[in-house]
Structure 1
């Protein structure tokens, strides 16, 4: 039986001009995951990351902590189908004020509970996208490419262990596919996925089985306050 580890990227630069860069904490989260794998002697045969900078940075920081014995001739592959959806477009179509990042942050800061207000905005924007409309990439198209990316991991079969560095939306879409979740459940799951959280699938030819979802014990391991983040 093979294994597939789906890793959400470390904390990115939310609210910055370039979101697609890991923050200092995001890099440390990736290193903590790598140390966890080194400590547990977890071996990987194949490494895949989405085409985004934060995916590659997470992969490099994480696997840089592993001894070479745990990565024997591992293939490194970039697969753009494991890239995240365009969250900026999804938010902008629902809330045009998001175009001005500073004004948007100021608007959230005036809310009694900014974190809750952002969550409600995200859920509403996701629902609008899922309901259809004029988007560069529709929700069905996004789900379809995520499922195709997972299906490609079925090729070759065997007992290979693969690690995939991707994003929360991709993982949530794959869980919807595997578990038959409703759209609202998928949105809620997406919001709850931790940065550098790990979802593990067991794999037989033609079959993927969920083994664990959103594990972030490696971030709690050293007892560092603030190590677990979601945005």
Structure 2
């Protein structure tokens, strides 16, 4: 069977004018996970990345080039979803305070999954459908080792789907995924099996423990 390693992007710039860029820590996390793969002797036959800046910067800092770009691996647009929930007037505390932000985002995702937020640019069904299309493309014939760089919500939904979890489990998994964590999926055709979730061996030593981040 072939294997796919899906990596969440490095730490982005929470609270900055442009969230969609890696922080200095994010670049270093990415360098370390790239080095960890090479130390294993793991070289991908196919590389796929979403089209978001933070995803592509992660891949570049990992030291990999010439990827396929598939927007199906892009994260849901949390700015848009929050704007749809609050009719364009998102409270400052939601965007500025981490605890409030993620509690509110969790509630917003649940509402979205239940068919709410009709003004959102993307429905929950559209989100899950494009992820499935991206996974199908990434795991098509022709590669035994596939490297994907994506985001927490996509990874959470991918894992929830593989293990047959209810939709709301996606967000629980989403909020657990660490920056540059590796999740390994074994696949054969359309069959997929989860073998590893949210692993960060490159950050597990005391030397790098302070670089463990979730957003």
TM over 0.5: yes
The answer to whether the aligner puts 1:86 opposite 2:77 as a matched pair is yes
Where does structure 1 lack aligned partners over 5 or more consecutive residues?
65-73, 109-113
Deviations 1:163-188 (A, max 9, x none): 00111111111112211111221111
**Residue 102 of structure 2 aligns with which residue?**
119
Does the 8 Å CA contact 2:48/2:138 hold for their aligned counterparts?
A: no
Determine if contact 2:4/2:186 at 8 Å carries over to the other structure.
Answer: yes
* Distance of 1:185 and 1:11 partners within structure 2: 23
Q: Provide the aligned C-alpha RMSD in A.
A: 2.1
Question: Is residue 45–residue 75 contact of structure 1 (8 Å, CA) maintained in 2?
Answer: no
Unaligned runs of 5+ in 2: none
**Partner SS state of residue 6, structure 2:** strand
Quote the Cα distance in structure 1 between the aligned partners of 2:27 and 2:57.
Answer: 8
Please give the TM-score of this superposition, normalised by the length of structure 2: 0.91
Cα distance in 2, alignment partners of residues 38 and 217 from structure 1: 13
Offset of residue 94 of structure 1: 2.9
More moved, 93-102 vs 133-142:
93-102
Tell me the equivalent position of 1:14: 14
Indicate yes or no: 2:157 matched with 1:173. Answer: yes
* 1:89-100 equivalences in 2 (<5 Å): 89-95=80-86, 99=90
**Native 8 Å contact 2:203 2:209 kept in 1:** no
Aligned length in residues: 213
Alpha-carbon distance, 1:91 to partner = 1.9
Counterparts in 2 of 1:156 and 1:132: CA distance versus 1, 3 Å: same
Distance 1:121 1:79 in 2: 29
> Which residue of 1 is the match for residue 126 of structure 2?
141
TM-score, with length taken from structure 1: 0.85
